[in-house]
Amino acid sequence: MPANEVTREGIIIHLTTLKESDAMVNAIGPEGLFSFYARGINKITSKNLGAVQALSHSKLTLTIGKEGSFTLKEGEAIESFVVSDDLEALAVLNFVMELTAKIVQPDEAPAAYRWLLASLKAIKGKSNPLTVGLIYFAHLLNNGGIGLDVDECVICHSKTHIIAISYEDGGFVCESCYDPETMHTASPRKLKILRYLFRCQIEDLPRVSFTKEELIPLYQELSTYLNDLTGTNLKSLGIIQKL
């Protein structure tokens, strides 16, 4: 391989269309986030079309420019995670991609990539999309250091008599610390689901399925929590709420 070329593996997370069917492409891979310029990629005749679509997991040969910027030379699709026949999966994939593009920081990207790839494989393998998407969301929050404390009362560290969740304090709350003025109690089932979302392992992704009625309010709550902490507004949440 010439000295001014590099090969990167990654999942395409976002494309910005530029002049004459060129695009700026954002991707995430085992080595982190990267972006590159792709010429003529939106032409239907482009040989790189399949490799440079959102949700493609691809091997990309990139030319390194003078300022260190990358331009696509050649792309080869390893696997595509696009679905066309399942509205719920489509809505979750949109959400997952928006979340990845908006909140993953460079130092968090290698860990986020492992969870993203596992989540996309689980959705493609017909696991419950809403469950997979929310586990991914919870783990991105963990990864960014803002995951909820679901192991104990976030105020007094008691591990027993947990009855509520306080997003303002960032975790579970016990009976004695519960403040009815500012907090809401949560059912044991809801606390159990939240604990699972934040604590499960990557291998558990395809193993569990919660109901839509249980999950959609949690999408809303965690999105509000994220917005309060970081100002991130997730447009694709609206599609999930309409499911």
* Binding residue (CB under 5 A) for Zn ion from 156, 207, 211, 238: 156
Stretch that binds Zn ion, among 40-48, 128-136, 139-147, 167-175 (CB under 5 A): 167-175
Q: Give yes or no for residue 153 binding Zn ion (CB under 5 A).
A: yes
Amino acid identity of residue 240, one-letter, is I
Q: Minimum Å distance from CB 191 to Zn ion?
A: 14
What separation, in Å, do the N-terminal and C-terminal C-alpha atoms of the chain show?
48
DSSP letters of 6-50? EEEEEEEEEEEE-GGG-EEEEEEETTEEEEEEETTTTSTT-TTTT
Query: Is 22 or 169 the residue whose CB approaches Zn ion more closely?
Result: 169
Q: Minimum Å distance from CB 179 to Zn ion?
A: 10
d(CA 183, CA 199): 23
d(CA 231, CA 160): 33
Q: Give yes or no for residue 229 binding Zn ion (CB under 5 A).
A: no
Q: Give yes or no for residue 78 binding Zn ion (CB under 5 A).
A: no
Query: Is 80 or 158 the residue whose CB approaches Zn ion more closely?
Result: 158
Q: Minimum Å distance from CB 10 to Zn ion?
A: 43
DSSP letters of 195-236? HHHHH--GGGGGG----HHHHHHHHHHHHHHHHHHH----TT
- 173 neighbors 155 (Cβ within 8 angstroms): yes
Amino acid identity of residue 170, one-letter, is G
Q: How many positions of this chain bind Zn ion (CB under 5 A)?
A: 6
Stretch that binds Zn ion, among 58-66, 119-127, 176-184, 217-225 (CB under 5 A): 176-184
Q: Minimum Å distance from CB 177 to Zn ion?
A: 3
DSSP letters of 49-93? TTTTSTTEEEEEEEEE-TTS-EEEEEEEEEEE---SS-HHHHHHH
Q: Minimum Å distance from CB 166 to Zn ion?
A: 10
Q: Give yes or no for residue 174 binding Zn ion (CB under 5 A).
A: yes
Q: Give yes or no for residue 155 binding Zn ion (CB under 5 A).
A: yes
Q: Give yes or no for residue 158 binding Zn ion (CB under 5 A).
A: yes
Q: Minimum Å distance from CB 87 to Zn ion?
A: 41
Query: Is 11 or 162 the residue whose CB approaches Zn ion more closely?
Result: 162
- DSSP H helical segments within 57-187, as ranges? 87-103, 109-124, 129-143
* Binding residue (CB under 5 A) for Zn ion from 177, 186, 194, 205: 177
DSSP 106: G
Query: Is 186 or 205 the residue whose CB approaches Zn ion more closely?
Result: 186
d(CA 185, CA 82): 39
Q: Give yes or no for residue 140 binding Zn ion (CB under 5 A).
A: no
- 99 neighbors 137 (Cβ within 8 angstroms): yes
Q: Give yes or no for residue 54 binding Zn ion (CB under 5 A).
A: no
Instruction: Give the footprint of Zn ion on this chain (CB under 5 A).
Output: 153, 155-156, 158, 174, 177
